[in-house]
């Protein structure tokens, strides 16, 4: 990360707890819990070397993980963290790691897997070791998920908690602020888990609990101003989705008209989408927006292409070609005006989920995935060849934080709660060849489907919904005559994080009413089917 980008990171402005991730499925929940009581927290891979860190955390949490500390090739933390002089809390694998470092005989395979809820007895020993469970009474109902356990008390430590199955379910160093717990405080089944984490972060690490969207807005606006300086211009791809809109509004607040939002009309947008986005961004939010009509170019390049990955690559590449042309045009257009300046930055709405996905450590042999870039923007936009530096003001935020940030910035609730819409749009919802005729058919069916979901008051209950089109056609009878039309596929899912999803259970009456309207009103559609596939094994989009 460059120095300037580093200076813009929240960990330089907020007291930050660092979570070192050993690959547990719930590591990111530790981050969420801390942020829920306004302590800023970031997660990095357990392989992070302290020397690589350009900032100092106020405390470190070692997460759980699927490996066993005593196995060859098991991940281990950089021992330098123990000399940093900040409090450390090990959770499950993290606790075992602390004990194992002191003596590798301290951890062994248990007799039984302890998975689920159990009762934890808290032992008061007097003094600092008691601070982790302070105010939590003598007994807690907690969630455990482990096989290995501490079989001996590590030297210099005292026992602060135990369960039926794990004698050393909680340990604390006699004199240093180092703690280990076998239970998972980040999981909602652990009663008062948040209080354990709060005791650690606020009372033991003394982290200031000032991570609030309100503070973030002001600090972020100031940091962006410093980072971008008072000459450079910034361009940003906006889709009308919540992430890019929030990022764009932030830039508008920070640098005014030196920020240029670009919406590409791919020809694969939903009905009236471009007009609506223009109205919201330009008229309601005052953002400088250019709509680039790329529909002919996109549809031309996609003609005859049927393979899903080929389609995605063409769409991603065409986006970039258009952005690069637009960046030059903006720079030229501003010459000899008060806004004159190089277009130096490219704004993206990357969220923390993308970052976490790219850093998470999954077992000893796992390589860390490279940061994927939503929307299919090719690497050359980011690797300096395009001479554009990446600006990602939301890269530390979770989706719900982005939503609350959006409200703070005065963005309308309808937009804040909008279903996600993928960059390749209708293009990945038409199986087989994309033709202008087929795009029009899907667009109209989709509009009916989404309108009826809204009218039924179900829009917020459904996470994402759309209409798609099959390649095949079927015979139907409409008004006594034979029709031979396409098969329309409806998909609606509920999902927390888009990694997994369930088909939404509409009432049969509503589903039939939707189907009837689509067949009646959309020329070219003879049948309507509902996709009942979960993810996995399916995906949310069809291609």
Ligand X SMILES: O=c1[nH]c(=O)c2[nH+]cn([C@@H]3O[C@H](COP(=O)(O)O)[C@@H](O)[C@H]3O)c2[nH]1
Any contact of residue 128 with ligand X (CB under 6 A)? no
Angle at Cα 19 formed by Cα 18 and Cα 24, nearest 5°? 170
Task: Convert residues 6-35 into a mask of x (bound to ligand X by CB under 6 A) and - (unbound).
Answer: ------------------------------
Residue nearer to ligand X on the CB measure, 253 or 273 = 273
464 binds ligand X (CB under 6 A): yes
- Name the phi and psi angles at 30, rounded to 5: -60, -45
Least distance to ligand X, CB of residue 315, Å: 8
3-state SS assignment for residue 302: helix
Q: Which of 10, 87, 423, 485 binds ligand ATP (CB under 6 A)?
A: 423
Give burial (CB, 10 Å; 0-12/13-18/19+) of 416. middle
Binding segment toward ligand X, per CB under 6 A, in 124-132, 144-152, 417-425, 472-480: 417-425
CB 191 within 8 A of CB 140: yes
Among 36, 121, 145, 194, binds ligand GLN (CB under 6 A): 145
Residues 6+ away with beta carbon under 8 Å from 325: none
- Which one of 374, 456, 483, 529 is in contact with ligand X (CB under 6 A)? 374
Q: Which is nearer to ligand X, 351 or 452 (CB)?
A: 351
Q: Which residues of 301-336 are buried (b: 16+ CB within 10 A; e: fewer)?
A: bbeebeebeebbebbbebbbebbbebbeebbeebee
For ligand X, the binding residues in 201-260 under the rule CB under 6 A are none
| 431/357 Cα distance (integer angstroms) | 28
Only segment of 146-154, 179-187, 269-277, 535-543 that touches ligand X (CB under 6 A): 535-543
DSSP state of 528: E
Q: Is 83 annotated as a binding residue?
A: no
Instruction: Choose the binding region for ligand ATP from 173-181, 223-231, 417-425, 482-490 (rule: CB under 6 A).
Output: 417-425
Could you give the residue ranges of the DSSP H alpha helices within 90-168?
93-102
Strands 389-391 and 259-265: unpaired
Backbone angles phi and psi of 428, in degrees to 5: -100, 15
Nearest to 157, CA basis, from 197, 125, 184 = 125
Which residue, among 307, 297, 294, 319, has the nearest Cα to 373 in the 3D structure? 319
Residue 193 sits in the site that holds ligand X (CB under 6 A): no
Cβ contact 258:287 at 8 Å: no
Q: Is 241 in the site for Mg ion (CB under 5 A)?
A: yes
| Beta-carbon count within 10 A of 45 CB | 16
| Omega before residue 22 within 30° of 0, cis | no
541 interface partner picked from ligand X, ligand ATP, Mg ion, none, CB below 5 to 8 A per type: ligand X
Q: Which of 424, 173, 455 is nearest to 302 (CA)?
A: 424
CA distance 13 to 40: 10
Q: How far apart are CA 43 and CA 28, in angstroms?
A: 7
Q: Is 264 an interacting residue with respect to ligand ATP (CB under 6 A)?
A: yes
Only segment of 106-114, 196-204, 232-240, 458-466 that touches ligand ATP (CB under 6 A) = 232-240
Q: How far is the CB of 243 from ligand ATP (least distance, A)?
A: 3
241 assigned binding-site residue: yes
Residue 281: which of 262, 295, 303 has the closest Cα?
262
Q: Is 239 in the site for Mg ion (CB under 5 A)?
A: yes
Residue 539's binding partner out of ligand GLN, ligand ATP, ligand X, none, with CB under 5 to 8 Å set by partner kind: ligand X
Binder of ligand GLN out of 47, 66, 70, 538 (CB under 6 A)? 66
240 assigned ligand-binding residue: yes
Active site residues: 92, 184, 186
Smallest separation, CB 72 to ligand GLN (Å): 15
Task: State the DSSP H helix or E strand holding residue 147, giving kind and residue range, or none if neither.
Answer: strand 139-150
CB of 313 to ligand ATP, least distance (A): 15
* Using rule CB under 6 A, residue 287 touches ligand ATP: no
Beta bridge partners of 486: 473, 525
Question: By CB under 6 A, is residue 375 in contact with ligand ATP?
Answer: yes
Q: Is 421 in the site for Mg ion (CB under 5 A)?
A: yes
Distance of CA 248 to the CA centre of its chain: 18
| Region of 1-9, 140-148, 246-254, 397-405 interacting with ligand GLN (CB under 6 A) | 140-148
Please check if 528 is assigned to a binding site. no
Interacting residues with ligand GLN between 24 and 53 (CB under 6 A):
24
Report in angstroms how near the CB of residue 374 gets to ligand X at its nearest: 4
In whole angstroms, give the CA distance from residue 56 to residue 42.
Answer: 12
Is 180 marked within a binding site?
no
User: Of ligand GLN, Mg ion, ligand ATP, none, which one does residue 280 interact with (CB within 5 to 8 Å by kind)?
Assistant: none
Q: Does residue 500 bind ligand X (CB under 6 A)?
A: no
Q: Is 165 in the site for ligand GLN (CB under 6 A)?
A: no
- Report yes or no: 453 and 337 within 8 Å, Cβ to Cβ: no
In the complex with ligand ATP, the residue whose CB is nearer, 233 or 348, is 348
Please report, as ranges, the residues that interact with ligand GLN according to CB under 6 A. 24, 64-68, 92-93, 145-148
Please report, as ranges, the residues that interact with ligand ATP according to CB under 6 A. 237-239, 241-244, 262-264, 266, 348-349, 374-375, 420-423
Q: Which residues sit in the known binding site for ATP?
A: 239-245
Please report, as ranges, the residues that interact with ligand X according to CB under 6 A. 312, 374-376, 420, 422-424, 464, 498, 535, 539-541
Please report, as ranges, the residues that interact with Mg ion according to CB under 5 A. 239, 241, 421
């Amino acid at each position: 990360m460059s120095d300037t980008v580093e200076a813009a990171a929240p960990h330089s402005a907020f007291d930050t707890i660092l979570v070192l991730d050993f690959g547990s499925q719930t590591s990111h929940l530790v981050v969420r819990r801390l942020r829920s009581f306004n302590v800023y927290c970031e997660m990095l891979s357990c392989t992070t070397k302290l020397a690589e860190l350009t900032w100092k955390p106020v405390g470190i949490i070692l997460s759980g993980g699927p490996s066993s500390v005593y196995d060859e090739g098991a991940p281990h933390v950089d021992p330098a963290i123990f000399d940093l002089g900040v409090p450390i809390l090990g959770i499950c694998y993290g606790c075992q790691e602390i004990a194992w470092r002191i003596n590798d005989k301290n951890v062994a395979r248990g007799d039984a897997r302890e998975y689920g809820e159990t009762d934890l007895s808290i032992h008061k020993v007097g003094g600092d070791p008691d601070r982790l469970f302070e105010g939590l009474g003598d007994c807690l109902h907690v969630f455990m998920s482990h096989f290995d356990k501490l079989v001996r008390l590590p030297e210099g430590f005292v026992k602060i908690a135990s369960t039926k199955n794990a004698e050393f379910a909680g340990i604390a160093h006699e004199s240093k602020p180092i703690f280990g717990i076998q239970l998972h405080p980040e999981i909602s089944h652990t009663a008062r888990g948040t209080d354990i984490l709060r005791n650690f972060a606020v009372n033991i690490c003394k982290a200031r609990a000032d991570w609030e969207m309100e503070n973030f807005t002001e600090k972020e606006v100031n940091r962006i101003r410093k980072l971008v300086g008072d000459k450079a211009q910034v361009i940003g791809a906006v889709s009308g989705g919540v992430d890019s809109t929030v990022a764009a509004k932030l830039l508008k607040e920070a640098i005014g008209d030196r920020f240029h939002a670009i919406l590409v009309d791919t020809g694969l947008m939903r009905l009236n989408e471009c007009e609506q986005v223009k109205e919201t961004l330009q008229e309601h939010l005052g953002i400088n927006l250019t709509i680039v009509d790329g529909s002919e170019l996109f549809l031309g390049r996609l003609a005859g292409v049927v393979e899903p990955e080929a389609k995605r690559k063409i769409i991603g590449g065409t986006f970039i070609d258009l952005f690069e042309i637009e960046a030059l045009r903006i720079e030229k257009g501003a010459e000899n005006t008060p806004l004159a300046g190089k277009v130096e930055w490219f704004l993206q709405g990357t969220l923390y989920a993308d970052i976490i996905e790219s850093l998470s450590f999954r077992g000893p042999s796992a390589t860390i995935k490279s940061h994927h870039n939503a929307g299919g923007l090719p690497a050359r936009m980011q690797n300096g060849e395009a001479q554009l530096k990446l600006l990602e003001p939301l890269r530390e935020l979770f989706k719900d934080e982005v939503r609350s940030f959006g409200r703070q910035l005065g963005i309308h609730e309808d937009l804040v709660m909008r279903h996600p819409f993928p960059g390749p749009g209708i293009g990945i919802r038409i199986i087989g060849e994309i033709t202008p005729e087929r795009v029009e058919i899907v667009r109209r069916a989709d509009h009916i489907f989404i309108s009826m979901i809204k009218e039924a008051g179900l829009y917020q209950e459904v996470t994402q919904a759309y209409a798609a089109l099959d390649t095949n056609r079927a015979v139907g009878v409409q008004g006594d005559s034979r029709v031979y039309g396409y098969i329309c596929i409806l998909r609606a899912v509920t999902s927390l994080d888009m990694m997994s999803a369930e088909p939404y259970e509409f009432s049969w009456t509503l589903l039939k009413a939707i189907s009837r309207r689509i067949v009646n009103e959309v020329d070219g559609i003879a049948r309507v089917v509902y996709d009942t596939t979960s993810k996995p094994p399916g995906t949310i989009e069809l291609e």
